[in-house]
Structure formats: structure tokens, C-alpha cells
Amino acid sequence: MRNPAIQNDFSYYRRTISRNRINNMHLDIENEVNNEMANRMSLFYAEATPMLKMLSNATMHFVSENKTLPIENTTDCLSTMTSVCKVMLETPEYRSRFTSEETLMFCMRVMVGVIILYDHVHPVGAFCKTSKIDMKGCIKVLKEQAPDSVEGLLNALRFTTKHLNDESTSKQIRAMLQ
């Protein structure tokens, strides 16, 4: 999301390699990406958030392949991870244990990523009232941070979740993310 030029750069690389092949200029063959891998990489980078898309697909695949394991086990694990991150961020005693700003940002990124993953995996999503995630609390924790450091995370919640615009999402949560 933060580096959209990577797809253009990779396309330029592929065109350059193709031109070199046509002109029989095999400069550095051992470091060249083969066509199949290049095609797969292009499809990966075509997504707005490629890593999140892969995690979501892998989790959905896990849930669908393990029918004997209730989906609640997966969603409970995700909601617990979100709650742990939220408590670590909002409790001064725990937050003071972070020695660097990078650790704080990492915790916020994990919280947002797990919310989005939960929203993709859970049938009704993370924003409904029956969700086990305290969305108001999580959004409040994010909004208490420096705006320039969390704008990307808030945008991730706005634009990469499946259920934010559902009717079951409260107007208050939608307003918090506007």
C-alpha cells in the first residue's frame, strides 16, 4: 500500500529482461527471474496489500480444509491477539516497557493486521456488535497516536476490510473511521 511503484518497477525489469533475450544479451542468467516466477510475482504485487491477501487466503484455506475444527477456534485466536495488542498499547504500565518507537509501531501494525484478517475470516466480520473485537477501543487507541504515524493503519482499516460498509456496522464505528 505504501509502495505502489514496485509493480511498475517490476514491469520495467520484465521488459528489460525480455529485450535482452530478444537481443541475445544474456548478461546475468543466474540472477534472472524465470517467466513462471515473474508471472506469480506480478500477480502478488497486483494486490493493494499483497501480504495481507496471502495471509487471508492461507487462513481461509486452513479453515476450509479443517472442517472438524470450528471456525470459532481461529477467530477466537485472532480476537485474543487483537485484545492483547490493544491492552499493551492503552495501558501506561505495559506501554512504558516498550524501549523503542518501532516496537510500538509493530504492535499497532499487528493489531490492525489481525483485525483485518479477522474481518476476512469471520462470517459477519469484525465490525458487527457480536464481534469479539472491541473495535471502538482499537480505533480509539490508534487515534490517540501521532496522526502521521497511524494514518496508513487507519486507511488499512478503511480500505482493506470486507465488512466496514455492511449494515450491521454501527454508525459510530463508521464515523470514527471517517
Mean pLDDT within 136-164: 91
Cell 509493480 found at? 7
Mean pLDDT within 128-149: 92
55 or 111, which is more confident? 111
- CA-based nearest residue to 164, from 111, 110, 116: 116
Distance, CA of 149 to CA of 5 (rounded, Å): 21
> At residue 157, what is the residue type?
L
User: What pLDDT was estimated at residue 30?
Assistant: 61
Give the predicted TM-score (pTM) of the model: 0.78
Report pLDDT digits (tens) over 88-124: 999 999 999 998 999 999 999 999 999 999 999 898 9
Report pLDDT digits (tens) over 24-45: 766 656 667 777 888 888 878 7
Measured torsion, CA atoms of residues 115, 119, 123, 127, in degrees rounded to the nearest 10:
80
Distance, CA of 4 to CA of 7 (rounded, Å): 6
Mean pLDDT within 137-150: 92
